[in-house]
Structure 1
């Protein structure tokens, strides 16, 4: 079987430009739109629009328009009822011809805060109601690798409709029954939680139990820790420690206050700066099996015999989490 993400949490890879697509669940404070791409050498201009409808003629809540015209600048504006507002021109160009970029649009109470390559660029104040925004448009001289909207779907969604991208091959257990929740999973999803994150695992861990974690490793990240713990004893049955700068994923346990021997061997390292990840952690009778981005990463053999006492999940370090499903 394959893991199917709920709407709004499946990254869009390599979209055709011009691109026009929905923002599932709309926008609200705390939502972030991540766009990774590259600028061609022969660029003149490109645009990113947040639209109040799913057509090119819809009102535009945010018009972001870098222009390479000899007097390089970025123009911000809005459009309502077919009439453009007053332009905000920023005569500073955060993009470079022939280079890759990461752009983040963060929604806050003041407006749309734009970051490019980890640096604050400009905040465009709200002119149109935030709750009207429902689509994203990208056009012009730009190549896009990934679009991801974190926090873009509203809570309470615990079903997995078919027809969206796949992810986790065999080893996760039986098939889906008529669109129901993923086998081995239960309870409500958690969307866009703050990090550090610590919460009980409803029902604890048991054979065939699968937990899905989706997120992004920001630029400048160094270390991440994901711990499966026993709340009663504070033992860490499974410690997963991606070390971004070192390019390794360390695994260990801490039982009775003592760390065990580290496991370091892995076939790949999917936790890199600026990259998104889809991870499934499945508990078996003998081991935890970890898949990331559809590929088997490693197994971690149980060191705590009473692994079914594991009832807490902790996530710490340099990571942004969009989605957890127990």
Structure 2
């Protein structure tokens, strides 16, 4: 059983800034880009660019540029043929010096809708076609923990998704690994020969989004994640898992453990029987993560074996829960955390997710 991330949902963790990387398969309407990061106390400005090609000189479909300069503002813009267009200045600063942030850019028919720390901020209307976007650049006074593109154009899955050109990753990037390694970038962007003129040829990206890309995306037979993410749900949260759980299904939960937190729980339930098939119970004060199930109204044997608990007060977490035919595999920040073998509840009966306790959830995606 393979437990690789479904194609298109391999986040980038802790990229070096300045960052330059591809968005495999590009963007499409309904896609979203999720950022988790922080800005230093002495910030002056930083930027995020969505690029229409593989280099810093490519056209820029979106330039997002917070500036702390005495007249704090966020500047939006675009650039075509090396010429900047008219700026849109939003004289409101959603970032705080020395503090962490979460930002989501949702690609709608109208433009890029920005939500920062759970609040709607601004929509930047499209000036260049969304389909041209195939890369991302980040620079300035910012630290990034996570970048995740959700619902894009395949991220290695498609075999011809871009109009006029094959954007599939049939051979991957030359050089194989597309993690945070610095290649020489001489290979160019494969499969772009017949695409948009000047968009994807030439230098290639020095680093990139995702894991090993050697011969196409590993595990590319896995299903895509469906639907839009749920942002900032109230706690306690109780919701239906669309289509229920099944082998190879992945649930991503991102959030924060507040200061003074005691414990919280994440439960996967079968609503017909009321059984809790999988109970995850991080206890911040005790430094343990308890796992269990409750079948027929009775709790089973607790599992506690783990090294140091990754759920610390004041810390973000990025949890990936992947369902296999005989067990769940749980990953934290991209690293394996523990396995939990299925007990008596049938996987296909699991159709509900509950989150409760001392936790703030920013993002749930099935």
TM score, norm. by length of structure 1:
0.71
Bigger Cα displacement from structure 2, 212-221 vs 116-125: 212-221
Any conservation in 2 of the 1:11–1:148 contact (CA below 8 Å)? yes
Bigger Cα displacement from structure 2, 190-199 vs 98-107: 190-199
Change (3 A) 1:200 1:216: closer
Matched, 1:65 2:106: no
Change (3 A) 1:150 1:262: farther
Matched, 1:16 2:57: no
Q: Which ranges of structure 1 fall in alignment gaps of 5 or more residues?
A: 166-177, 203-209
Deviations 1:255-282 (A, max 9, x none): 3xx3545847463355997532233344
Aligned positions of 1:69-84 closer than 5 A: 69-84=69-84
Aligned residue in 2 for 1:188: 223
Change (3 A) 1:193 1:143: closer
Change (3 A) 1:179 1:35: closer
Report the alpha carbon displacement of residue 127 of structure 1 after superposing the two structures with TM.
1.7
- State the alpha-carbon separation in 1 of the partners of residues 52 and 149 from structure 2: 16
Report the alpha carbon displacement of residue 21 of structure 1 after superposing the two structures with TM.
0.9
Change (3 A) 1:321 1:29: farther
Aligned residue in 2 for 1:49: 49
Matched, 1:199 2:248: no
Deviations 1:17-38 (A, max 9, x none): 2211111121122222122222
Higher strand share: 1
Aligned residue in 2 for 1:275: 317
Any conservation in 1 of the 2:24–2:156 contact (CA below 8 Å)? no
Matched, 1:252 2:293: yes
State the secondary structure of the residue aligned to 1:311. helix
Report the alpha carbon displacement of residue 64 of structure 1 after superposing the two structures with TM.
0.7
Change (3 A) 1:108 1:57: same
Report the alpha carbon displacement of residue 126 of structure 1 after superposing the two structures with TM.
1.6
Matched, 1:32 2:32: yes
Report the alpha carbon displacement of residue 56 of structure 1 after superposing the two structures with TM.
1.3
Change (3 A) 1:94 1:139: same
Report the alpha carbon displacement of residue 107 of structure 1 after superposing the two structures with TM.
1.6
Deviations 1:27-85 (A, max 9, x none): 12222212222222332211111111121122211111111111111111112223322
Any conservation in 2 of the 1:7–1:153 contact (CA below 8 Å)? no
- State the alpha-carbon separation in 1 of the partners of residues 118 and 217 from structure 2: 39
Change (3 A) 1:45 1:198: closer
- The count of residues paired between Structure 1 and Structure 2 equals 290
- State the alpha-carbon separation in 2 of the partners of residues 14 and 25 from structure 1: 22
Any conservation in 1 of the 2:245–2:323 contact (CA below 8 Å)? no
Find the partner of 1:292 among 316, 320, 331: 331
Change (3 A) 1:36 1:15: same
Any conservation in 2 of the 1:216–1:274 contact (CA below 8 Å)? no
